[in-house]
Amino acid sequence: MQQLESLLAFDRQHIWHPYTSMIDPLPVYPVKSAKGVFIELADGQKLVDGMSSWWCAIHGYNHPQLNAAIEKQLKDFSHVMFGGLTHRPAIELCQELVRMTPAGFEKVFLCDSGSVSVEVAIKMAFQYWISLGNRDKKRLMTIRKGYHGDTFGAMSVCDPVGGMHHIFEAVLPQHIFLPEPISSFSEGLHPTDEAQLEQAFARHHQEVAAFILEPIVQGAGGMRVYAPAFLRKVKTLCEAYDVLLILDEIATGFGRTGELFGANHANVQADIMCLGKALTGGMMTMAATLCTDQVAMTISRGPTGVFMHGPTFMANALACSVSLASLQLLDSYGWKEKVGRIEKGLEQGLRPLLQHDRVKEVRVLGAIGVVECHQSIQVAAIQKYFIKHGVWIRPFRNLIYIMPPFIIEEAELNLLCQVMAGGLEEEAHFVKEK
């Protein structure tokens, strides 16, 4: 068996981790096991996970019910092509998704990942208008500070300046970006936001196929929280100007914001919705794009007669089985109470940090806690500090944030908040101002 040092040397030399350089890669920490809210490193150190593995492991790790769902399905088959075949795990999962999502979503397209679900949603929107004989609607409209994934269609609607994909501007489709909302969650629609939305729709509606955005919480584009009234205004204008509404619930779905879906804060019904991340409880990659009957039937009556998409691993039986088990688990244990308890703990633990001179803003909603700093963060340095103090948190840009598993206990949540506070004290954790 290879020694750990040899494996790590190979990792540094040959494995490209997400958003890292191969010249000067960030350090990586080898994982031995994970259970509950703890990640155990190869050296035996246990870390309280504040990230839910990029927001998907809402039930924690190694959950016996999720493990059992995969093991049971594995005895029958792991995967068959979904072209011309179907199976019980896919059918039962789609039944559950239609049941639990907002009324109106009647058709389900199963995907491989969140980025692919956004690609599917975008393709649905364009094919909808093509099917109606309208080829003028070939652009999308969205807001700045958004993030929708790393594939090309998804990148084209991510923030074009401060996002992670600005270097591709010259090769991406050019869409229409409105300023990010200034309407805060606790207040109504700001007049500036309202005016900008109305002007944009009036000017561009004839060329816009769909408006896409993350409902209430913008994720990796800046972890910003905005007013439900803003989302309601977008919906009203979409209806008035005949524009489809796509809601990217990949990060906000399945209880993370304190509502089952982010759109529920605004009581808004979209035409197309993207789901992913927590869908499988973090066990496997899986996503879904849901749409209304109107969208599906219009596409199906179009010139091709079919929707032009079909991933090889669509409706993977193992992923469908564990997704269904994850949704049943979510229903069974009072997720709303758990998320409400986390929100209270985050308010108590993080809100006082507003007094710190490094802190620009603190944002809390549901099981999301964000500390926005005035300076950018030295990720390698601050992660070393976090690990030393027994937590796993991965900041980006000037944001230190946590989105812990729903099963986290008070003591573990308190530790995450305390270590976040401690990390603010070290000068080496921040980029020096020029």
List residues with catalytic annotation: 19, 147, 248, 277
CA distance 17 to 28: 9
Q: CB-based burial of residue 301 (10 Å sphere; 0-12 exposed, 13-18 middle, 19+ buried)?
A: exposed
Amino acid identity, position 235: K
Q: CB-based burial of residue 187 (10 Å sphere; 0-12 exposed, 13-18 middle, 19+ buried)?
A: exposed
Report the SS3 class of residue 139: strand
Picking from 367, 354, 418, 423, the residue whose alpha carbon sits closest to that of residue 395 is: 423
For 274, phi then psi, to 5°, come to -105, 135
CA distance 233 to 224: 18
Which pair of tokens denotes residue 81? 């092509």
CB 251 within 8 A of CB 218: no
CB 253 within 8 A of CB 261: yes
Q: Is the dihedral of CA 51, 53, 54, 57 positive or negative?
A: negative
Tell me which H or E stretch contains 402: strand 399-402
